[in-house]
């Protein structure tokens, strides 16, 4: 059996003719830019998130850029975020000319450590950009209180958290703007790139709309230097079909996560992700804290020379070895993310040294994402679980050999 980390084939089969009709409908209509599919999607998505507006755009990255621009954030401004995320979080801040200021994460939640935010606030700080990483919500009660006591704007990076709630309220409805990605592997994926920015503020929504179309409030009048960042009608049509299934998919992700958590307890050295009410489980991320058996997991194979894919962090050899071990047994995993943003070559100029974000750096050498997607079958999941159990079984057998001899 071969278990992929993510697959859409079952979902496409399930959606069947609905998807075909939606896509062909757009093709036949000739309305590829704008039109009723876009309007319908923006309205239903806003309703789903619980905001007055949703502005469709080209990607989650663009949603972040549009949000920053609409809030007037640019050169000389600082935005506080975390370095344990996809690169686009910080990239968007830099793209508008502002500077990302990184704060370490809590190693148990993988999320920005709110205890450390206050110390990072300077005279130049304009906004906080929390990331609801892997589908788990940041404590928005606390973050909003922090932001309002310092007069800061809040842009939520909800790219991995469509369907996530904090205290029963959807993420993307707390801050000034919520930014969503419809990249195919996200909780609500388009058939290509897509994104949306949600807000309750009429004027922010209007500005984002205009910026997404060349800063053009009416035809050929340009009041700002904007972008070409529309959501395609064909993507909106796909999303309109899929949005109706989102709740079911989130429930299925929760079932899969619960099963992993029930069946993988007490594997030494492997820390399971904590549950949280409202989690949408975009990823199920293990932490390989050391050689998981307490014995060398890998019988000494977990060394730099044995690992071709190692990212060069000493602690990662065991994780990388485990990834290979699982791969050899048909279990395909992914590392989100092997290199922290503050240590990326593109951010060398910001001057963050190795060791400046200890939790983030350690996580990058420890994390491993198990297969999770709504259509993952119980049989496939069982295969993943037994591959992990076998690892311990094998090591116990090795350990017992001297006794038997």
Ligand X SMILES: *Cc1c(COP(=O)(O)O)cnc(C)c1O
Instruction: State in angstroms the smallest separation of the CB of 266 from ligand X.
Output: 31
Q: Between residues 51 and 59, which has the closer beta carbon with respect to ligand X? A: 59
- Cα four-point dihedral sign 62, 65, 66, 67: positive
Which residues of this protein are in contact with ligand X, per CB under 6 A? 59-61, 85-86, 88-89, 131, 157, 159-160, 181, 183, 193, 195
Q: Between residues 59 and 165, which has the closer beta carbon with respect to ligand X? A: 59
Instruction: State in angstroms the smallest separation of the CB of 111 from ligand X.
Output: 11
- In degrees, rounded to 5, the angle at the alpha carbon of residue 156 between the alpha carbons of residues 152 and 161 is 160
Instruction: State in angstroms the smallest separation of the CB of 52 from ligand X.
Output: 23
Q: Between residues 178 and 371, which has the closer beta carbon with respect to ligand X? A: 178
Instruction: State in angstroms the smallest separation of the CB of 301 from ligand X.
Output: 32
Q: Between residues 88 and 270, which has the closer beta carbon with respect to ligand X? A: 88
Instruction: State in angstroms the smallest separation of the CB of 215 from ligand X.
Output: 20
- Beta strands 153-157 and 125-128: pairing type? parallel
Per-residue exposure over 243-266, b if at least 16 CB sit within 10 Å of its own CB, e if not? bebbeebbebbbebbebbeeebee
Q: Please tell me the total number of residues recorded for the chain in this structure.
A: 405
Q: Between residues 143 and 387, which has the closer beta carbon with respect to ligand X? A: 143
d(CA 70, CA 60): 15
Per-residue exposure over 298-317, b if at least 16 CB sit within 10 Å of its own CB, e if not? beeebeeeebeebeebeebb
Q: Between residues 117 and 131, which has the closer beta carbon with respect to ligand X? A: 131
Q: Between residues 130 and 226, which has the closer beta carbon with respect to ligand X? A: 130
Spatial CB neighbours of 214, under 8 Å, sequence gap ≥ 6: 222, 226, 227, 228
Instruction: State in angstroms the smallest separation of the CB of 44 from ligand X.
Output: 19
Comparing every residue's Cβ against ligand X, the nearest one is: 60
Q: Between residues 131 and 146, which has the closer beta carbon with respect to ligand X? A: 131
Which of 179, 79, 183 minimizes the C-alpha distance to 121? 79
The answer to whether 136 and 87 have CB atoms below 8 angstroms apart is: no
Instruction: State in angstroms the smallest separation of the CB of 246 from ligand X.
Output: 17
String of DSSP letters for 53-116: EEEEES-HHHHHHHHHHHTT--TT-EEEEESSS-THHHHHHHHTT-EEEEE-B-TTT-SB-HHH
Instruction: State in angstroms the smallest separation of the CB of 263 from ligand X.
Output: 27
């Amino acid at each position: 059996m071969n278990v992929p980390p993510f697959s859409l084939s079952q979902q496409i089969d399930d959606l069947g003719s609905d998807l075909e009709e939606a896509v062909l409908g757009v093709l036949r209509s000739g309305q590829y830019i704008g039109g009723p599919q876009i309007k319908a999607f923006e309205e239903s998505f806003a309703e789903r998130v619980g905001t007055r507006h949703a502005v469709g755009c080209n990607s989650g990255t663009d949603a972040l850029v549009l949000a920053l621009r609409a809030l007037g954030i640019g050169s000389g401004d600082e935005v506080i975020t975390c370095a344990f995320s996809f690169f686009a979080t910080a990239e968007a801040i830099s793209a508008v000319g502002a500077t990302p200021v990184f704060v370490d994460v809590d190693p148990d939640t993988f999320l920005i450590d709110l205890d450390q935010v206050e110390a990072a606030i300077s005279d130049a700080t304009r906004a906080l950009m929390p990331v609801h990483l892997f589908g788990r919500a940041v404590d928005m009660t606390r973050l909003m209180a922090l932001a309002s006591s310092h007069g800061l704007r809040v842009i939520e990076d909800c790219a991995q958290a469509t369907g996530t709630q904090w205290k029963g309220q959807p993420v993307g409805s707390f801050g000034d703007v919520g930014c969503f990605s419809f990249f195919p592997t996200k909780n609500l994926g388009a058939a290509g790139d897509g994104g949306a920015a949600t807000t309750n503020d009429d004027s922010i929504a209007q500005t984002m709309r205009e910026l997404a179309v060349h800063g053009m409030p009416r035809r050929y009048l340009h009041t700002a230097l904007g972008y070409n960042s529309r959501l395609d009608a064909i993507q909106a049509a796909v999303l309109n079909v899929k949005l109706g299934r989102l709740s079911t998919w989130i429930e299925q992700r929760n079932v899969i996560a619960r099963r992993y958590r029930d069946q993988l307890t007490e594997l030494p050295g492997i820390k399971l992700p904590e549950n949280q009410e409202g989690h949408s489980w975009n990823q199920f991320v293990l932490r390989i804290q050391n050689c998981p058996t307490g014995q060398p997991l890998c019988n000494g194979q977990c060394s730099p020379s044995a690992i071709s894919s190692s990212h060069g962090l000493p602690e990662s050899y065991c994780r990388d070895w485990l990834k290979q071990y699982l791969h050899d047994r048909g279990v395909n995993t992914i590392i989100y993310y092997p290199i922290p943003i503050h240590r990326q070559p593109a951010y060398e100029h910001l001057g963050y040294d190795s060791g400046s974000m200890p939790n983030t750096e350690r996580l990058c050498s420890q994390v491993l994402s198990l297969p999770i997607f709504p259509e993952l079958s119980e049989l496939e999941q069982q295969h993943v679980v037994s591959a992990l159990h076998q690892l311990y079984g094998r090591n116990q057998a090795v350990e017992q050999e001297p006794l038997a001899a």
